Structure 1
């Protein structure tokens, strides 16, 4: 049985990302991480010297890079580092064999390889991106030092693979055996806490209105949680066989959570548009259901959802769902006696449909959560993976920056014949690779340069004034320990990670003694100067060559977000909902990171995401209902209402591809025609309308219309100043 923790209280909307960040940055975890990094690096250095590896610095640098607070992260990063190292080593040998005596073509081929790898790093997710980075700069680090001695490239590749393997082995061993902190426990804790945060959010949303900023802020956190949980799930498959057995259920749980949050957002926004949230609201006649649902969820708000809680919640939701149709039929009959307008009746039907779907999907989520306690379960059979979305232009821009930096510095090296030009070019390749998947490569490169500059002073002092005075390996560990501890501490803080990376990697590369140590002050100082210069060039390139944190990328990501509606209309129905949900959230997560420091842009992107999710899910539900309709005359393909749906879909695609007042007006008119056609089709069956499948079609059409007319979306600028409540538009 998998079960974690007690019922820890959390604040409203406490997200996975922030919970993990707070947990990972507690003093105890930080100190454990620091000492584990120190032990692993010292063990690696000792073994490197005992085995007489040519470059112990490569092995110890590997420890600095792959070491993480959680053992699963270390294992996943190590595996991809090893794969990337093999790929880069093989390419360096191949390239040297093809161009052994032509430096220009050799460096051009190397730049092309770095372009491909940096593009792949920006395109991929999780530690797969790190594998691409390693493949890129490993080829540079192997080939450049022996560019004038092609016959040495094969042994250089072999030694590098051995040194990196030793670093990976030591880091993984120490991480897994010395006070291990598993990713599996962090994942389960996050899953349990996440539902309590959502329950708090849902109860507040059902009882209050008028807090749009808070509503958007918490939604943004849930978007980040969905992406973060997928990262943790993919990592735990490397670490824990028990979690591998539950990988399908965790994937399903994440997909169902996305569906639940999207459905609740749709329900809440429909009620808020019509003033039907809060204790005094009676516009749609369903206020009692909101009160009852809020009371049902409230006991689970703000605390961890454990196995027994999940089973109890599922049973309560099943009872609530079974009694809902009869209660709504009674309310509808009472409501219709007041001779409501057409729009008021559509509001009633749509709100009821969304409420029923929300309860149903919340019950499915609770059942999947409860199933995690079993070693095997039928819910493990899930074939709808998380779909990551990355803009190709953003990926190509990262590759272009990397290739340009490498070509410019290689040309500078050849023209000036600077003895430290190889170090400059090599380090620039490493820096652009590490910043390829950063949201702000300029800042990351500059931080690495500052960290390297600081460690240059420390490294020169230790190499020439401390190392000659000590004797024995214990004293060596003692004098390098402060640098390792400080760099690791900075690396553990996301806002200072670049400084820590620069300190650790380049102290290890230049100032850790080799088995054959050469004391060359001129060469060491020149190498450090070349490194800092190369990093500053990388920072300039990050600011000049298509920087990702600039309007050109925000506009493309916004366009990609809007085109998710086209995806919902055109893609095959199988696994469409989960692919649409995950892809849209992933795009929003990226866009929000790139727009850091620009709250207006972030707010606009978030509002586009919300309207895309609302309209996209309504379209998917329309397509599902249309596919399920029975073979009666009024449901045939040739019927006018089906033709009107096709025209409406085309109008929606035009609107979201190219938003504007004209396209919005035509789209609203197309939706209105579809609603009228559906109503005309069901007119002969009025006595059976309550159970007609077309009622659900009509409800989702009405929801599409109200979503397009919402006052707080980016489309609202194209609406008339005072649209009527009936919202009827004509061509």
Structure 2
């Protein structure tokens, strides 16, 4: 029992990671010393910052950091050459450059963003200290690049050669776990009891269901990050990266399809119209999800379930609109079939990744050839606020440094810029930066003991490594742990420079005190700017994402081009992955799923509007215009609200147009395009007015029908 508890506190993987990182840092320090570099502690810091638990992530981060450092050095040389005699312009140029790089890096939202962040603050690392001696700019830039490259190479070689943890092997282990999460979520959505799902007796069904949904959203986000590191892995998979992207697509589809199927089951159950045949099909789907089969068996049983769903669809007649119950039955059966197909494809792709063999079937190869990179959520307003924070950090810090003529003020500007740039990517960066400040404050007295008490008595490289090992191994152990990572970064940025790991040891109390004060003030400056410019909490973050979704929905309503629904699903699942770790309430995830369905319904109606003619196109156009008015009057979450008992005037007009469109398009339901548009209209009605009475789908008097359609067509043309 004690052994298991100790392994939980001190996992072996973290211990090995810390040891490898320390070896890489000390190797980089030794090479930098041997090469007569004047600031070898930058090699130590770089080795730690580049290090990641997975070898592929180390190599990708190393490549991005190297490129960013070279770009930053080039910019520093250009800025100093042009503005060395004008400190105000020099400060403005550096602040604008760092702000621009931060803005681009945050919009990128992949590990590649590290390149832009490094290009920004590397220019400050080089240009600020060189501003006092412009003639040494090139030499300073060259030395900083060499020190950082040494740290990069040592970290890359160490983590690639000694006990490497492969991204591909990690994906192999994660694939089945992600599929289990998808099956668990689908079980909950289809109404399966919670037995054997890991829930405690105190956990309600709703909490467990929300937990499964959040976990699946996080899985999708993690798969995206892994896809970026995969090309840099030490173990290159035989299957193309499109396999992972397609796997991510199928998991995203299960998240959405299970949620919408759950809503349809609830709708039919509340009406008392859930037939025994459909209920039996749902039970069979749950049994199929429970049964781990081989590839061929899974596919065969999936085809049987899909065929059953198609056979249960109500038969429709030409020019006779189906009833509301029939529309819901067609909808739920189609979603069940699509859910089964998504799980079957996900199972095949998961088996393919675990076997690490190339795709065998022609169908699979054709499917994988159509997997472009997934578009991601972009928050331009948040990126601008982050850019403003880094801009102000450089500007205010430089003004303070020049105004006080404090020699160590340059170090404060450099540290503040690094902290601000690194952590401005968070939705709520101020608390994270405060943990960096806490780590900085904690490490200063430890550094004092080292610099003033221990290191003066140390002679030789090996004794130095031995006395540094306890503290640096602790930092390396904390870095991969999310709870302590920010504090460990604070310790890392403080320790190597403060204990004077330079080309020669020289330390005095005055020098140490000034350097420690600069380190602390620089970090405080970053905290202050991030708190001033980017005070974002969980609720604010969720609200901002919903506002972005609302604007994007309005653009989709007004678009006359063929909609890209796959890109919409990718962005929305990415947003769910962003919100899932920060927002525990189910309402935010409910809103995201509802908004995703709303966008897909709009896309389907736009496709129909592009190809349809006459009164059919006119009535769909009117529905979309009325929906546009709803989005103007209300926030997105009004569609999810259960408190609205009676629709307002605008909502009533929208419902009248929507019900008219249901009847009009229902007359041609036997045509595939009309069927898809009809189901999209039904989705809109269930989203906007879930508590309203079912629409009247059939009129007894044809004259009323013709007059009603003519009125709607006239309204559409006048609008």
Task: Sort the TM-score into its range (normalised by shorter chain).
Answer: 0.7 to 0.9
Within a 5 Å distance, the mapping from 1:557-568 to structure 2 comes to: 557-566=545-554, 568=556
Q: Relative to structure 1, is the Cα distance of residues 477 and 637 closer, same or farther in structure 2, using a 3 angstrom cutoff?
A: same
Distance 1:130 1:584, change over 3 A: same
Structure 2 counterparts to residues 390-539 of structure 1, below 5 A: 390-539=378-527
Give the one of 665, 687, 704 matched to 1:678: 665
1:262 aligns with 2:256: yes
Q: Which residue does 1:655 correspond to in 2?
A: 630
User: Which whole-Å CA distance do the structure 2 matches of 1:31 and 1:652 have between them?
Assistant: 57
Q: Does 1:322 align with 2:307?
A: yes
Q: Does 1:103 align with 2:87?
A: yes
> Which residue among 272, 275, 287 is the counterpart of 2:279?
287
Q: Deviation at 1:175?
A: 0.5
Partner residue in 2 for 1:354: 335
Do the aligned partners of residues 26 and 698 (structure 1) sit closer, same or farther apart at CA in structure 2, a change above 3 Å counting?
farther
Alignment-derived partner of residue 382 in structure 1: 370
The equivalent of 2:196 in structure 1 is: none
RMSD (Å), alpha carbons = 3.0
Cα deviation 1:638-664 (Å, max 9, x = unaligned): 2x2221112212223333354264543
CA deviations on 1:509-545 (whole Å, 9 max, x unpaired) are 2224211332232122111112112211221222222
TM-score, reference length from structure 2: 0.85
Q: Contact (CA 8 Å) 1:384, 1:578: kept in 2 or not?
A: no
Ranges in structure 2 where 5+ consecutive residues have no aligned partner: 1-6, 194-203, 360-364, 639-647, 698-707, 713-719
Question: Which consecutive residues of structure 1, in runs of 5 or more, have no partner in the other structure?
Answer: 1-22, 301-307, 630-635, 683-688, 712-722
- Whole-Å separation in 2 of the counterparts to 1:253 and 1:168: 32
Residue matched to 1:606? 589
Offset, 1:282: 3.6
Q: Deviations over 1:677-723 (max 9, x none)?
A: 113x43xxxxxx65765334323321221122246xxxxxxxxxxx4
Query: Take 1:275 and 1:405, find their aligned partners in 2: how far apart are those partners?
Result: 58
Counterpart in 2 of 1:203? 187
Q: Deviations over 1:71-94 (max 9, x none)?
A: 111111111111110111010000
- Quote how far apart the aligned CAs of 1:668 are: 2.5
Q: Alpha-carbon deviation of 1:572?
A: 7.9
CA distance in 2, matches of 1:621, 1:221: 29
Residue of structure 2 equivalent to 1:54? 38
Equivalent residue number for residue 170 of structure 2: 186
CA deviation map 1:562-591 (0-9, x unaligned):
334345545687782221011112233334
Partner Cα separation in structure 2 for residue 357 and residue 620 of structure 1: 18
For 1:84, the equivalent position in structure 2 comes to 68
In structure 2, what is the equivalent of residue 637 of structure 1? 613
Aligned partner of 1:19 in structure 2 is none
TM-aligned CA distance change 1:693 to 1:390, over 3 Å: closer
Instruction: Check the 8 A contact 2:659/2:696 in 1, yes or no.
Output: no
How much does 1:398 deviate?
0.4
2:603 paired residue number: 620
The reply to whether residue 28 of structure 1 matches residue 8 of structure 2 is: no
- 1:288 aligns to what SS in structure 2? helix
CA 1:285 to 1:666, structure 2 compared with 1: closer, same or farther past 3 Å?
A: farther
SS at match of 1:52: coil
Q: Shift of residue 212 of structure 1? A: 4.5
Distance 1:269 1:323, change over 3 A: closer
CA distance 1:703–1:396, change in 2 (3 Å):
same
Separation (CA, whole Å) in 2 of partners of 1:311 and 1:26 = 42
Q: What corresponds to 1:129 in structure 2?
A: 113
The match for 1:45 among 9, 26, 29 is 29
The correspondence for 2:681, drawn from 701, 724, 730, is 701
Change (3 A) 1:141 1:727: farther
Q: Does 1:159 align with 2:159?
A: no
Q: Deviations over 1:242-282 (max 9, x none)?
A: 338521121112112212321221111111122279xx984
Indicate conservation of the 8 Å contact 1:428/1:535, yes or no. Answer: yes
- 1:320 deviates by 2.4
Aligned to 1:234: 228
Give the length in aligned residue pairs. Answer: 662
Distance of aligned partners of 1:649 and 1:501 in 2 relative to their CA distance in 1, 3 Å threshold: same
Aligned ranges for residues 133-152 of structure 1 at < 5 Å? 133-152=117-136
CA distance in 2, matches of 1:213, 1:349: 30
Select which of 527, 538, 544 maps to 1:556: 544
Q: Could you list the per-position Cα deviations for residues 14-47 of structure 1 after superposition, in whole angstroms to 9, with x for gaps in the alignment?
A: xxxxxxxxx9997011111111111111111111
| Offset at residue 724 of structure 1 (A) | 3.1
116-125 or 234-243, which deviates more: 234-243
CA distance in 1, matches of 2:547, 2:567: 18
